[in-house]
Amino acid sequence: MIFNTGAALLDAIVLAVVSKDPEGTYGYKITQDVRQVIELSESTLYPVLRRLQKDACLEVYDMECAGRNRRYYKITPAGWAQLQLYEAEWRAYSDKITGLFEGKDIR
């Protein structure tokens, strides 16, 4: 994609992906799901996850998988509220851009 992906958009995408699994999901799977939408490296993802955890949007827990601990991320009530805000902002923003591309008056 030729468009820049800012921190807020990355946060929104990650929250949307994590919100799909009520029990939480782990980093590698989050990376794979996000890559269905945008190109993202794991080295980019983990700072996003830490920031969302620090902002109380995600909670983290470890669970054993095949003899090793796997870190899971689960959306919190604050994360749901933030995701709803991102969704509303995205819809308004994308409607304006789509209108512009379609030649509509955007005033």
Domains defined along the chain, listed by start: 7-101 (1.10.10.10)
pLDDT (0 to 100) of residue 91: 94
Quick count: other Cβ atoms within 10 Å of Cβ 26? 15
pLDDT (0 to 100) of residue 85: 97
- Indicate if the alpha-carbon torsion angle 1, 47, 33, 22 is positive or negative: negative
Would you say residue 33 has pLDDT above 70? yes
Would you say residue 58 has pLDDT above 90? yes
pLDDT (0 to 100) of residue 9: 92
What is the pTM assigned to this prediction?
A: 0.89
